[in-house]
Structure formats: C-alpha cells, structure tokens
C-alpha cells in the first residue's frame, strides 16, 4: 500500500503575495496597453484589435489605473522579496540553474518597470532619473523591454507549472505537496 506524505511547500504570505503580484501585473499590463494605444511608439496595435478590445481613446483612464495599481504592485513586490530573504525560503527551494537565474532576475525586472515607469511618468520632476536612464525615449524603451521580459517569464513559468503537474500547482494554492512513497 502506498503511503502519502504531506509536505509543506509554500507559506501563506508567499502564496498570497505571489498571486497578488500576478493579478497586479496583469492589471498593470492591461492599463499599460490603454496608455500605449494613445501613442504607438514601437509596435502598432491592429485597428481591429483596438476596436474589439475597446482600447481607443482611453489614455486618461489607462494612466489613472496604471498609477493606482503601481503602488500596491510595488509594496507587494517589496513584501514578497523581503519575506523570501528574511525567511531564507529562497535558499531552501531546490531549483535548477536556469530557474535560479530566472527567479533572481524577476525582482530586478519588477524594480526596472517601476524605476523606468517613474522616469516616463514624471520626466520633469524626476529629470535626474530620466537622464540616468538615457532620456525619455530610452526610458520608454527600457520600460517596454523589462515588461516584455516579465511577460516572457510569465509565459515560461505557466508552461513549466503545467509540465510539472497538479501537485506543483496545488503547492502554490494550498501550500503543500503530496508525495507517494
């Protein structure tokens, strides 16, 4: 007869901040698209998509949501990273080398979105930051690049979770995995 062992995997604070980060990041991307539609500086959004998704002429709404969500995103990210460091949980996780690099880079990408976002949000008041990043245009490029990096991470992360199965996913919802001996 198989013996089942329940192994605590993720603490409640880690799970809550993880899922809140995911939700807030999706909202930031949505509101960012509303802002972007007003000035398609890099890649044009097809007109059909814009009409179907109601993206037209929503700059003020997008900016309002973007800057409202930025604060909980920033605070939650700081709580998440601080908890990982203080609790030592980041050391206990058994990750492959590629995962270690990815999980190290994600908080840096998050910080990069906030820093570059502030530089393009307040280029006069935070002129020193905008100039440090290479000017307004370069700050926008950086903002889009780090967002693209986060989006790529999310896609790969979700694929990897699916590949590793339900037990792995359950650990980020319930906090535990079940091992069969």
* pTM score over 0.75: yes
Residues 6+ apart with CB under 8 A from 90: 84, 103
Specify the DSSP class assigned to residue 177.
E
Looking at domain 4-180, does it have CATH number 1.20.1640.10? no
Percentage of residues in the chain having pLDDT higher than 70: 96
d(CA 33, CA 151): 13
The pLDDT tens digits for 25-52 are 999 999 998 888 877 666 777 888 878 8
Helix, strand, coil fractions of the chain, as percent rounded to 5: 75, 5, 20
pLDDT class of 172 with cuts at 50, 70, 90: confident
Each domain of the chain, given as residue ranges in start order, spans: 4-180
- pLDDT above 70: residue 150: yes
Tokens for 109?
Answer: 């990408």
Band of the pLDDT at 66, cuts 50, 70, 90? very high
Better pLDDT: 27 or 4: 27
CA distances, 45 to each of 26, 93, 175 (Å)? 18, 40, 40
146, 113 in Cβ contact below 8 A? Answer: yes
CB–CB of 117/73 below 8 Å?
no
Do residues 86 and 56 make contact, with C-beta atoms less than 8 angstroms apart? no
User: What is d(CA 129, CA 24) in angstroms, rounded to the nearest whole number?
Assistant: 24
Nearest CA-CA partner of 30 in 112, 147, 110: 147
Smallest CA-to-CA distance from 64 within 98, 28, 115 is with 28
Structure tokens at 161: 């979770």
């Amino acid at each position: 007869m198989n013996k089942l062992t329940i192994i605590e995997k993720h603490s409640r604070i880690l799970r809550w901040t993880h899922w809140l980060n995911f939700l807030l990041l999706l909202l930031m991307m949505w509101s960012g698209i509303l802002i972007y539609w007003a000035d398609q500086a890099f890649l044009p959004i097809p007109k059909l998509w814009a009409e179907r998704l109601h993206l037209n002429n929503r700059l003020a709404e997008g900016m309002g949501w973007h800057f409202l969500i930025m604060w909980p995103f920033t605070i939650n990210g700081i709580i998440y990273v601080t908890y990982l460091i203080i609790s030592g949980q980041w050391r206990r996780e058994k990750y492959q080398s590629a995962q270690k690099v990815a999980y190290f880079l994600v908080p840096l990408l998050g910080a990069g979105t906030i820093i570059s976002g502030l530089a393009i949000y307040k280029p006069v008041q935070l002129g020193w930051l905008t100039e440090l990043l290479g000017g307004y245009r370069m700050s926008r490029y950086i903002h889009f690049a780090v967002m693209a990096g986060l989006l790529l991470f999310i896609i790969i992360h979700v694929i990897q979770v699916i590949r590793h199965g339900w037990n792995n996913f359950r650990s980020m919802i319930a906090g535990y995995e079940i091992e069969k001996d």
